[in-house]
């Protein structure tokens, strides 16, 4: 680990998968930080049971952090997958793990989100773990020329040089950033108050004892009119997501109840998720199952003053392309590189880094990330609508053209490969044994 001499401290708000990644990256960059998490525990052992796909770009970072083997150990690689209609008839296939190996020289793995978070937490050194503070819900942020002051609902205050908002889709930090910008100038260009739109909702969950006939490594998709589903069978758990188009898009934050979930299952439980297993079979076998809206979109302003946003606070994609967390990881990587080079270029090691230099680093971060995230959000929107047969030509191409032309691989190549190949790594850490496939990576470590 390198250490930075400058009096510079980051306050990371949110100890979710992106906040924990930021803890690793900042620690390795020698950036002083604290993480404030509103939950009473960091990396809650059995939290909401979604599966998270760890894509080739993130596996490269995991290798740099020395975590690749540990991630592979809790993950499962998928075998070739089958796409069925809502009554269970197979009509198409895909093999994304093999495609990733071909394009990038490394596949992808599905992991249980709570296990991933536990791994990220457990692998931080003990003295760094002490910088992760649970039970700290951020309520207010004040910024000055010299620094930031973050107030929590328990009355405690943290002082630092910058705030990094890793607090998810309904980000409080994003709200504070907007308020501060408007206080400074009522005409300031700011993000919308509710920047993301949900056009679909989904039930997602997992089963520890999957319905019979489902084996580890199986991947099933269902594509239908106004709905789609995904089932991924891991070594010990099976994850499922079933989405449905909403009657009308909403920007609101809706909290669904257990009864809402049951109504959803009553309406759609008969629909097949594999050729033999229905949504109701999965629901009956569930260990966890939740109903949520699937917000989509990208904010215009990633930063203001001393505040910067990463992860779901910046962009929201549906699960269809499996890029949500991976996009947040890339936000963290690029931000860390920019902050570290800002600190290295500071000529006076004893002086606090000026607001102007911080803003320049944030601006460089947004400049790098904006086009890549825009493309990732677009890819997820296209994929979501294609598989839910949003228009007649989505149905026609998905049901009849793509299966006959090998088009799904082309679609994957066009829409998802760029998110991987354009990925950055921590440029100040070595990258040994970089995987290589038929499409070159655009960026590498500067320490090779
Ligand atoms: C069904 C489903 C499947 C998915 N599949 C994939 C996939 O395959 N691949 C993938 O990459 N992504 C996937 N995602 C998306 C992925 O889960 C998210 O992109 C990721 O969790 C975002 O992480 P985050 O840390 O930015 O936000 P979050 O996970 O929302 O974490 C935010 C954290 O901030 C804390 N917080 C919030 N407000 C405050 C506050 N005021 N003060 C302090 N702390 C606060 C929260 O408690 C939380 O711990 C999926 C999502 C769903 C719903």
Q: Is 393 exposed, middle or buried (0-12, 13-18, 19+ CB in 10 A)?
A: exposed
**For residue 72, pLDDT beyond 70:** yes
Q: Shortest CA distance to 51 belongs to which of 211, 224, 230, 171?
A: 230
Give me the mean pLDDT over the 31-39 stretch. 97
Cβ neighbours of residue 119 under 8 Å, at least 6 residues apart? 67, 70, 71, 74
Using the mean position of ligand 1's atoms as its centre, give its distance from the Cα of residue 312 in Å: 6
| Nearest atom (ligand 1) to Cα of 113 | 17
- 63 near 431, Cβ under 8 Å? yes
**For residue 45, pLDDT beyond 80:** no
Using the mean position of ligand 1's atoms as its centre, give its distance from the Cα of residue 16 in Å: 6
> DSSP characters for 197-245?
EEEEEEEEEEESSPPTT--TT-EEEEEETTEEEEEEE-SS-EEEEEEEE
Q: Which residue has the tokens 């760094």?
A: 128
Residue 402 has, within 13 A of its CA and on its CB side, a CA count of 22
User: How confident is the model at residue 239, as a pLDDT?
Assistant: 96
Q: Which residue has the tokens 């040994």?
A: 432
Pocket around ligand 1: residues whose beta carbon is below 6 Å from it?
A: 13-19, 36-39, 50, 52-53, 137-138, 166-168, 172, 204, 241, 311-312, 319, 322-326, 328
pLDDT band at 212 (very low <50, low <70, confident <90, very high): confident
User: How confident is the model at residue 350, as a pLDDT?
Assistant: 80
User: How confident is the model at residue 346, as a pLDDT?
Assistant: 86
- 381 near 335, Cβ under 8 Å? no
Least confident of 34-38, 211-215, 267-271: 211-215
State residue 67 phi and psi, 5-degree precision. -110, 5
3-state class of 249 per DSSP?
Answer: strand
To test the pocket of ligand 1, the residue of 11, 12, 17 to mutate (highest count of ligand atoms within 8 Å of its CB) is: 17
**For residue 2, pLDDT beyond 60:** no
- 187 near 196, Cβ under 8 Å? no
With b for 16 or more beta-carbon neighbours within 10 A and e for fewer, the 394-416 pattern comes to: bbebbbeebbeeeebbebbeebb
Atom 48 of ligand 1: nearest residue by CA position: 16
Task: Share the mean pLDDT of the chain.
Answer: 94
Cβ neighbours of residue 367 under 8 Å, at least 6 residues apart? none
Using the mean position of ligand 1's atoms as its centre, give its distance from the Cα of residue 347 in Å: 38
Using the mean position of ligand 1's atoms as its centre, give its distance from the Cα of residue 311 in Å: 8
- In this structure, what token pair is assigned to residue 269? 């439980």
Q: How far is CA 138 from CA 174, 311, 325, in A?
A: 12, 17, 22
- 245 near 199, Cβ under 8 Å? yes
Q: Which residue has the tokens 């010990």?
A: 236
**For residue 279, pLDDT beyond 80:** yes
Which is it for the CA torsion 37, 322, 317, 86, positive or negative? negative
User: How confident is the model at residue 348, as a pLDDT?
Assistant: 82
- Report the C-alpha gap between 34 and 307 in whole angstroms: 15
| Nearest atom (ligand 1) to Cα of 20 | 25
- 160 near 1, Cβ under 8 Å? no
User: How confident is the model at residue 222, as a pLDDT?
Assistant: 98
Pairing of the two strands 109-112 and 81-84:
unpaired
Give me the mean pLDDT over the 326-355 stretch. 93
To test the pocket of ligand 1, the residue of 308, 312, 327, 333 to mutate (highest count of ligand atoms within 8 Å of its CB) is: 312
Using the mean position of ligand 1's atoms as its centre, give its distance from the Cα of residue 415 in Å: 23
- Report the C-alpha gap between 89 and 250 in whole angstroms: 33
- Report the C-alpha gap between 282 and 259 in whole angstroms: 17
- Report the C-alpha gap between 289 and 295 in whole angstroms: 18
- Report the C-alpha gap between 343 and 30 in whole angstroms: 10
Q: Shortest CA distance to 243 belongs to which of 168, 326, 321?
A: 321
- Report the C-alpha gap between 75 and 96 in whole angstroms: 15
| Nearest atom (ligand 1) to Cα of 313 | 26
**For residue 1, pLDDT beyond 80:** no
pLDDT band at 3 (very low <50, low <70, confident <90, very high): very low
Give me the mean pLDDT over the 63-71 stretch. 98
Model confidence over 143-189: pLDDT tens digits?
988 999 999 999 999 999 999 999 999 999 999 999 999 999 999 99
| Residue 7: count of CB within 10 angstroms of its CB | 13
Model confidence over 282-317: pLDDT tens digits?
999 999 999 999 999 999 999 999 999 999 999 999
Residue 137 has, within 13 A of its CA and on its CB side, a CA count of 6
| C-alpha gyration radius of the chain | 22
Q: State the alpha helices, DSSP H only, in 65-144.
A: 68-74, 96-104, 113-122, 126-129
Using the mean position of ligand 1's atoms as its centre, give its distance from the Cα of residue 76 in Å: 21
To test the pocket of ligand 1, the residue of 16, 23, 113, 132 to mutate (highest count of ligand atoms within 8 Å of its CB) is: 16
Q: How far is CA 228 from CA 202, 255, 274, in A?
A: 9, 22, 11
Pairing of the two strands 219-224 and 227-233:
antiparallel
- 165 near 179, Cβ under 8 Å? no
pLDDT band at 47 (very low <50, low <70, confident <90, very high): low
Q: Which residue has the tokens 């354009």?
A: 422
- 82 near 275, Cβ under 8 Å? yes
**In the chain, % of residues over pLDDT 90:** 89
- 15 near 37, Cβ under 8 Å? yes
Atom 3 of ligand 1: nearest residue by CA position: 319
Model confidence over 408-440: pLDDT tens digits?
898 889 888 999 999 999 999 999 999 999 999
| Nearest atom (ligand 1) to Cα of 18 | 25
Using the mean position of ligand 1's atoms as its centre, give its distance from the Cα of residue 332 in Å: 14
| Nearest atom (ligand 1) to Cα of 326 | 11
Sheet holding 148-152, edge to edge: 138-143, 148-152, 157-160
User: How confident is the model at residue 217, as a pLDDT?
Assistant: 95
Using the mean position of ligand 1's atoms as its centre, give its distance from the Cα of residue 362 in Å: 22
User: How confident is the model at residue 44, as a pLDDT?
Assistant: 75
Using the mean position of ligand 1's atoms as its centre, give its distance from the Cα of residue 67 in Å: 20
User: How confident is the model at residue 444, as a pLDDT?
Assistant: 93
Least confident of 41-45, 257-261, 370-374: 41-45
| Nearest atom (ligand 1) to Cα of 137 | 42
């Amino acid at each position: 680990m390198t250490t930075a001499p400058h009096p510079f401290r980051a306050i990371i708000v949110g100890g979710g998968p992106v906040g924990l990644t930021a803890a690793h990256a900042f620690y390795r960059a020698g950036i002083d930080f604290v993480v404030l998490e509103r939950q009473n525990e960091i990396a809650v052992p059995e939290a909401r049971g979604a599966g998270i796909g760890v894509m080739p770009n993130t596996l490269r970072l995991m290798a740099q952090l020395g975590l690749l083997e540990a991630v592979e150990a809790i993950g499962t690689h998928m075998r070739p997958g089958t796409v069925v209609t809502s009554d269970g008839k197979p009509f198409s296939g895909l093999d994304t793990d093999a495609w990733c190996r071909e394009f990038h020289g490394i596949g992808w793995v599905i992991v249980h989100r709570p296990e991933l978070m536990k791994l990220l937490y457990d692998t931080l050194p003990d003295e760094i773990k002490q910088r992760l503070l649970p039970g700290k819900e951020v309520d207010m942020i004040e910024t000055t020329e010299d620094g930031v002051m973050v107030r929590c609902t328990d009355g405690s205050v943290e002082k630092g040089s910058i705030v990094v908002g890793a607090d998810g889709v309904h980000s409080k930090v994003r709200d504070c950033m907007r308020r501060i910008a408007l206080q400074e100038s009522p005409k300031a260009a700011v993000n919308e108050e509710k920047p993301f739109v949900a056009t679909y909702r989904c039930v997602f969950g997992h089963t520890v004892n999957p319905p019979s006939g489902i084996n580890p490594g199986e991947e099933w998709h269902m594509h239908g009119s106004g709905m789609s589903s995904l089932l991924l069978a891991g070594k010990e758990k099976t994850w499922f997501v079933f989405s449905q188009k909403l009657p009308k898009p909403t920007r609101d934050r809706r909290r669904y109840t257990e009864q809402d979930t049951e109504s959803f299952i009553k309406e759609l439980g008969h629909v097949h998720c594999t050729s033999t297993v229905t949504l109701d079979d999965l629901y009956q076998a569930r260990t966890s199952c939740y109903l949520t809206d699937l917000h989509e979109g990208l904010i215009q302003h990633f930063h203001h003053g001393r505040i910067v946003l990463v992860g779901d606070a910046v962009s929201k994609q549906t699960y269809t392309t499996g890029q949500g967390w991976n996009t947040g990881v890339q936000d963290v990587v690029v931000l860390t590189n920019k902050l570290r080079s800002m600190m290295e270029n500071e000529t006076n090691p004893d002086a606090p880094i000026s607001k102007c230099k911080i803003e320049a680093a944030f601006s460089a971060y947004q400049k790098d990330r904006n086009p890549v995230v825009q493309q990732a959000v677009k890819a997820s929107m296209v994929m979501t609508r294609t598989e839910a047969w949003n228009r007649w030509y989505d149905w026609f191409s998905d049901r009849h053209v793509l299966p006959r032309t090998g088009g799904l691989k082309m679609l994957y190549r066009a829409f998802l490969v760029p998110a991987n190949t354009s990925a950055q790594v921590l440029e100040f850490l070595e990258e040994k044994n970089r995987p290589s496939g038929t499409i070159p990576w655009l960026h590498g470590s500067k320490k090779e």
